[in-house]
Amino acid sequence: MKEIVVISGKGGTGKTSITGAFAGLAKKCVLADCDVDAADLHLLLQPQVRERYEFSGGGRAEIKAEKCLKCGLCRQLCRFDAVRRPADGSSFLTVNSLACEGCGLCAHICPAGAIEFKPVVDGEWYVSDTRMGSMVHACLYPGEGNSGKLVTLVRSRAREIATGNGSDYLLIDGSPGLGCPVIASVAGSDLAVIVTEPTVSGEHDLLRIAGLTKHFRVPTVICINRSDINSAASDRIAAVAEAQGVKVIGRVRYDKAVTEAQIAGKTVNEYTDGPVAGDILAAWQRIINLTEGKE
């Protein structure tokens, strides 16, 4: 079983549309939607939820008034300004649970051991059935942070399912950006496919994410989406990537059928057999060749 993660240095490159299309082309796969901050693969695949679990990534600080010495150290050192004096003028400090990041510093430095942590449910995660195979996905509640723990959980469960049912591929819709969530999506994969676009920010973010995959020694290729909206920029991106040893495995043209497919709740290759579907199929074929060692 091969783990293929589809990532993009930035949002809006079409990563999820391309991941969904790949899922339809892979004969036997399990999907992991690790873009837990803004999960949207479910819009294409309409999963039927089979299992539902709560996710708690940590806790929120709470000051026990009976132990507090009112020294003010926690208020002074909390960099998120979460420790406040109540509006009623009471001398006891309280923690604003919306501002608290659960970093634990206050509990560490409190001389009286007056700060405790109460667990908080940050979101939910699911195991579902889709027409492309099983899918593990999640939803963070508004305002809750993503440390990478939820991504690790989603990916681990998807890997267990893929291994258990003899799937050929675990397809991961990776987190955007460069932080902990994307590292949790990428590390240990067999192949990272960076979906980029021919813009200045696309090129800039591509180089940053390619640096990250190189650091984690994950073989990496790129797919240039909407490549024909600026062919010169696409050529420049291809040259820059190949100079760093990163192959371009596909160029997917702009086609309004991609948006129409999203609106219809279908993958691109389900919606059309036009040229854009051919571009995606060609990219997928190269991915198969690379993971099977044929290139």
Binding residues for ligand SF4, rule: CB under 6 A, are 61, 63, 68-74, 78, 80, 82-83, 93, 95, 100-106, 110-112, 114-115
Q: DSSP character for 131?
A: T
The 10 Å Cβ neighbour count of residue 290 is 19
- Supply the minimum distance, in Å, between the C-beta of residue 37 and ligand SF4: 20
Of residues 15 and 75, the one with the C-beta less far from ligand SF4: 75
Q: DSSP character for 220?
A: E
Distances (CA, A) of 53 to 66, 102, 121, 122, 157: 35, 21, 10, 11, 12
- Supply the minimum distance, in Å, between the C-beta of residue 177 and ligand SF4: 22
Of residues 68 and 283, the one with the C-beta less far from ligand SF4: 68
- Supply the minimum distance, in Å, between the C-beta of residue 82 and ligand SF4: 4
Residue with tokens 């004969």: 27
- Which 3 state secondary structure label does DSSP give 25? helix
Q: DSSP character for 17?
A: H
- Supply the minimum distance, in Å, between the C-beta of residue 152 and ligand SF4: 22
Instruction: Dig out the tokens for 73 from the structure.
Output: 């150290």
CA nearest to 21, candidates 36, 8, 35, 6: 6
Beta bridge partners of 30: 170
Q: Which residues contact 84 (CB under 8 A, 6 or more apart)?
A: 75, 93, 94, 95, 96
- Supply the minimum distance, in Å, between the C-beta of residue 182 and ligand SF4: 23
Of residues 73 and 207, the one with the C-beta less far from ligand SF4: 73
Distance (Å, rounded) from C-alpha 137 to C-alpha 124? 9
**Which value, in Å, is the radius of gyration of the alpha carbons in the chain?**
22
Of residues 56 and 244, the one with the C-beta less far from ligand SF4: 56
Of residues 114 and 153, the one with the C-beta less far from ligand SF4: 114
Of residues 91 and 292, the one with the C-beta less far from ligand SF4: 91
The 10 Å Cβ neighbour count of residue 59 is 16
- Supply the minimum distance, in Å, between the C-beta of residue 141 and ligand SF4: 17
Of residues 66 and 292, the one with the C-beta less far from ligand SF4: 66
Say if CB 17 and CB 261 are below 8 A apart. yes
- Supply the minimum distance, in Å, between the C-beta of residue 117 and ligand SF4: 8
Distance (Å, rounded) from C-alpha 55 to C-alpha 163? 23
Of residues 62 and 228, the one with the C-beta less far from ligand SF4: 62
Say if CB 287 and CB 169 are below 8 A apart. no
- Supply the minimum distance, in Å, between the C-beta of residue 144 and ligand SF4: 14
Say if CB 212 and CB 178 are below 8 A apart. yes
